[in-house]
Amino acid sequence: MTTRIAGEGIVLREWTEADLPAMVRLFDDPEIAYRTPLASPFDRAAAETYLDAVQRAREGNTRLHLAITEDGGEPLGEVLISIASRAIGYGVGAAHRGQGLAARATRLLTAYAHTTLGLPYVILEIDPDNTASVAVATAAGFRRTDTAPVPVENKGRVYTLATWSHEAPLTAPRVRHARPEDLPRVAELAAEHAAYEKAAPPSPGLPDRLDALLFTTPTPRLRCLVAELPDGTLAGYATCAPEISTWEGEYLHMDCLYLSAAHRGLGLGPLLMTAVESEARTLGLKEIQWQTPSWNEGAIRFYARLGAEPKEKLRYTLRVG
């Protein structure tokens, strides 16, 4: 079965042998040679070699290469996806740039990857200095991730690639790491949390302090997880950080776990705890410790169901400045 995707005024279809002359016209281009590993010069022989590789990748279900067309006819460029890495790539012929083809093709293939291929996310790997590709990623709804840029070499040119990600629309609640744009809502949840525990509210500027702890420092210790509903609402949060006990060695300290009152009983608490446990495993830690007010009977029952063991201690606070 061949793949054909239509929408946004274009049609994506698979390459055929009849497209070999068009491949030469599109890919024998200095900009494409500079940005991609395609052969240069890109002549008929190179096109035949490339088409053979494209068809073998299709048969092996490792990559899907599609010609970008207006109506299924003359190719104007290409968009592709690597199934294993979930990375999308594209190239548009010099005569057809400036029409939004790359962004439209990327949006179409991204939707296909989510709905038909079942991929929960796809990525773009972009040279941060390539402003045109950054514009395409933004127009296609991708978000730059916190993953450190990766150095690569292509035809003697050394540069870095930043990762941009697009996630499938949510159909169920999930827990994920907080992003910088989440911090105002996390601060709201923290204020609700403090009020619920009859504690003093966080001092002003909490979003900025969290930004410094989570994103500005090169080696963040704090982890912040958020529970997100399908409509994008952040219904709760958890924070944790590795600590050291003189007697017991290293462990993960869960400082906060809170769900807004309107969103309790939806199974979000276990999702958050599972995510905290995953953080501990990732860090190679064997134990999680936390505390809850002695009057919080609902939380105590919840933690008991998880198999957590309570310890009788008093918690003290001493101001020193």
Q: Is 320 within the bounds of a domain?
A: no
Q: Is 188 within the bounds of a domain?
A: yes
Q: Is 311 within the bounds of a domain?
A: no
Q: Are residues 94 and 160 in the same domain?
A: yes
Which pairs from 131-138 meet CB under 8 Å and 24+ separation? Answer: 135/103, 136/90, 136/102, 136/103, 136/106, 137/106, 137/164
Q: Are residues 139 and 178 in the same domain?
A: no
pLDDT of residue 171: 83
pLDDT of residue 5: 96
pLDDT of residue 315: 83
Q: Are residues 26 and 115 in the same domain?
A: yes
Q: Are residues 208 and 83 in the same domain?
A: no
Q: Is 36 within the bounds of a domain?
A: yes
Q: Is 229 within the bounds of a domain?
A: yes
Closest CA to 113 of 103, 105, 121, 102: 121
Q: Are residues 195 and 250 in the same domain?
A: yes
Q: Is 206 within the bounds of a domain?
A: yes
Q: What is the mean pLDDT of each run of 10 residues along the chain (321 residues)?
A: 92 97 95 90 96 95 96 97 96 95 97 92 95 97 92 90 94 92 97 95 96 93 96 96 94 97 93 95 94 92 91 86 76
Q: Tell me the residue range of the domain where 154 lies.
A: 4-167
Q: Are residues 45 and 146 in the same domain?
A: yes
153 φ, ψ (degrees, to nearest 5): -130, 135
pLDDT of residue 74: 96
User: What is the DSSP pairing of strand 77-82 with strand 143-144?
Assistant: unpaired
The token pair at 139 is 């127009």
Q: Are residues 103 and 226 in the same domain?
A: no
CATH of the domain at 289: 3.40.630.30
Q: Are residues 108 and 147 in the same domain?
A: yes
How many domains does the chain divide into?
2
Q: Is 321 within the bounds of a domain?
A: no
Q: Are residues 14 and 99 in the same domain?
A: yes
Q: Is the pTM of this model over 0.85?
A: no
Query: 141 in the Ramachandran plot: left (φ > 0), alpha (ψ -120 to 50) or beta?
Result: left
pLDDT of residue 289: 95
Q: Is 235 within the bounds of a domain?
A: yes
